[in-house]
Chains A and B, each alone.
Chain A
Amino acid sequence: DVKVTQSSRYLVKRTGEKVFLECVQDMDHENMFWYRQDPGLGLRLIYFSYDVKMKEKGDIPEGYSVSREKKERFSLILESASTNQTSMYLCASSLLGHLYEQYFGPGTRLTVT
C-alpha cells in the first residue's frame, strides 16, 4: 500500500512565524503535490514537483514556497504565516504521467493566530 505521511495533524502558529509542513511518501513516486482545502472552495493546488529539485507553481502559490531535496520528501514552507493561511493542507503523490492516481496524506490542519 502506498503511504503518504504528513509531519503534523494539527498545528497552531502565530502570525509572522515561518512554518514548515513536511510530507513523505514511500512508493518511489515522482510526482508530489501540495493542496489547501477550504470550505466552499474545494482543493486548490499550491505547488507540485515532478522530480527532485523541480517545482512548478499551482493555482495559488503566493505566500508559499516548496523544497524537494529527496525524492520521497516534499516540504511546504510558509515564509511568514498569515491568518488567511489558516486551512487544511493536503499532500499527495503519484507516479509520473497523467494516467496514474494520486494518493493523499491525512492532512495538516493549520491555524494561524
Chain B
Amino acid sequence: KQEVTQIPAALSVPEGENLVLNCSFTDSAIYNLQWFRQDPGKGLTSLLLIQSSQREQTSGRLNASLDKSSGRSTLYIAASQPGDSATYLCAVRTNDMRFGAGTRLTVKP
C-alpha cells in the first residue's frame, strides 16, 4: 500500500525567503503526483500536476520536481509572501490516490 509522507509537518519562515516542501512516497509505480494548497476550513486547490514521465512543472513562483526512482517530490516556493500561508498537500496517483498529511506553512511579514 502506497504511503505518502510530508516533512516537515509545519514550517514558519520570514517573508521573502525561498523554501522547499518535501513529499516522499513508497511505491514508485505512479501515474502522477499532484500538489494542492488548502486554506483553513476550505477545500483543496490544485497547484501543479506532474505526470510520471515528467521531471518538473512550474507555475509562477512555484516549481515542483519529481524523482520517481527515489520516491520524492519537492515543491519550491520562491520569494515567499504572507499570502502563501496555507497547508500544502501532495497526492500520489497509482490505482488510487494517496495523500500526505500536509505541511502547514506560515510566512511572517
Contact = CB atoms under 8 A, between A and B. Distances in A.
A61 interface: no
A40 B17 CA distance: 27
B89 A103 contact: no
B97 A42 contact: no
B45 A104 contact: yes
B34 A43 contact: no
Contacts of B91: 43, 102
A45 interface: yes
23 contacts: A33-B97, A41-B101, A42-B4, A42-B100, A42-B101, A43-B99, A45-B97, A58-B96, A90-B43, A92-B44, A98-B31, A98-B93, A99-B31, A99-B51, A101-B34, A102-B34, A102-B46, A104-B36, A104-B43, A104-B45, A104-B46, A106-B42, A106-B43
Given A42-B100, A107-B41, A99 B46 contact: no
Scoring B43, B94, B99 by chain A CB atoms within 10 A of each residue's CB, the highest score goes to B43
Contacts of B97: 33, 45, 102
Provide the main secondary structure of the chain A interface. strand
Contact of B96 (A45, A105, A109): A45
Contacts of B42: 106-107
Contacts of A4: 43
A51 to B, nearest CB: 17
A98 B91 CA distance: 13
Interface of B: 4, 31-32, 34, 36, 41-46, 49, 51, 89, 91, 93-97, 99-102
Interface string A81-107: 000000010101000001101111111
Interface size bucket, A side?
A: 20 to 34
